[in-house]
């Protein structure tokens, strides 16, 4: 229910149509080194996006959504010269808003709609760092308008946007418009309703894709290791995947990743996250130390028991540092 004229870049809720932004400075990389590993976790990434949207949709208030719809209906009725229909729609909107406030008097924002936006900068760590340097140089030189389009797309993230009615002002605006219609002040009422619709508040929840991918790649490394840790598990994982491909009659297009390769891919994703500005070097140090420890255990075929829980806790702390 976002104003689509203002939200042209926002995709619909269908994940198949999620917006993927590829800036000009990343287009030189036809096949980024990270593309294969991104594909390896693409399904769980989409699952995470779906889960986040579903969670937000559960918070939407039906009465508040109806009030918003009735406001738009009233404005259209006024445009059509039907004041009676406008008053009827606003009466319903007022009742719905009173219901929302009565149920939760302390509620400041009433969620009415949720949308999903995905921006994904394609490129390896070096290309992203160069792009960042270009942006920083433009900003330092005061060339803000040249830096602006590059900054807009300098992201790799899923954003869940929630539209909310501001309950401190929106109900009063509906009452004001109703009074204006009663007085025959149709044009003023239209302006009041249009202003009220423009006050819808957008809140955002951001998921940094490189961080999410890194976490999923570590999960994949743990699965690849299986019950038997170490290099033996790496060989077994590769052999099993190859055998499965032969059984299905499909030619393998790429070698399956080993546990060590999953860990290295996760490390690259963390470097991408840092290059994109989702945290600084200190924010990621704990996780890099964890991955180095995991690498050593895999190389020595040591028991990795406990290290994955440790890494999971580190991811939780990282997200708290960079997003809370």
Last-in-domain residue among 208, 238, 264:
208
Residue 194 shares a structural domain with residue 228: no
> Residue 257: what pLDDT?
83
Q: What does pTM read for this prediction?
A: 0.75
Instruction: Answer whether residue 295 shows pLDDT above 80.
Output: yes
Last-in-domain residue among 208, 224, 257:
208
Closest CA to 68 of 4, 164, 162, 161: 164
Residue 176 shares a structural domain with residue 36: yes
- Cα–Cα distance measured from residue 29 to residue 123, given in angstroms and rounded to the nearest whole number: 6
> Residue 74: what pLDDT?
98
Closest CA to 28 of 157, 130, 118, 139: 130
Residue 193 lies in a domain: yes
Domain count, the chain: 2
pLDDT confidence bin for 89, thresholds 50/70/90: very high
Last-in-domain residue among 208, 230, 259:
208
Closest CA to 22 of 126, 143, 156: 156
Instruction: Answer whether residue 255 shows pLDDT above 50.
Output: yes
Mean pLDDT, the chain, whole residue set: 83
Residue 195 shares a structural domain with residue 89: yes
């Amino acid at each position: 229910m976002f104003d689509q004229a203002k939200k042209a870049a926002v995709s619909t809720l269908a994940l198949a149509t999620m917006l993927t932004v590829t800036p000009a400075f990343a287009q030189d990389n036809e096949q980024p080194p990270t593309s294969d590993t991104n594909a390896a976790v693409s399904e769980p990434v989409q699952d995470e996006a779906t889960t986040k949207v579903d969670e937000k949709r559960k918070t939407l208030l039906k009465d508040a959504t109806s009030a918003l719809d009735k406001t738009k209906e009233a404005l259209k009725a006024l445009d059509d010269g039907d004041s009676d229909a406008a008053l009827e729609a606003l009466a319903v909107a007022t009742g719905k808003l009173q219901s929302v406030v009565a149920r939760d008097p302390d509620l400041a924002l009433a969620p009415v709609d949720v949308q999903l936006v995905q921006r994904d900068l394609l490129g390896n760590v070096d290309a992203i760092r160069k792009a960042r340097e270009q942006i920083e140089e433009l900003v330092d030189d005061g060339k803000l308008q040249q830096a602006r389009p590059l900054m807009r797309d300098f992201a790799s993230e899923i954003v869940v946007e929630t539209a909310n009615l501001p309950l401190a002002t929106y109900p009063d605006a509906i009452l004001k418009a109703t009074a204006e219609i009663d007085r025959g002040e149709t044009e003023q009422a239209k302006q009041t309703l249009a202003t009220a619709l423009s006050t819808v508040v957008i809140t955002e929840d951001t998921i940094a894709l490189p961080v999410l991918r890194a976490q999923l790649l570590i999960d994949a490394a743990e699965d690849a290791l299986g019950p038997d840790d170490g290099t033996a598990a790496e060989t077994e994982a590769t052999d099993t995947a190859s055998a499965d491909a032969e059984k299905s009659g499909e030619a393998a297009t790429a070698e399956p990743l080993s546990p060590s390769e999953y860990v290295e891919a996760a490390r690259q994703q963390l470097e991408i996250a840092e290059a994109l500005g989702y945290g600084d070097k200190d924010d990621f140090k704990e996780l890099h130390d964890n991955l180095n420890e995991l690498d050593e255990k895999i190389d020595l075929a040591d028991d990795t028991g406990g290290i994955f829980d440790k890494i999971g806790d580190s991811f939780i702390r990282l997200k708290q540092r960079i997003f809370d």
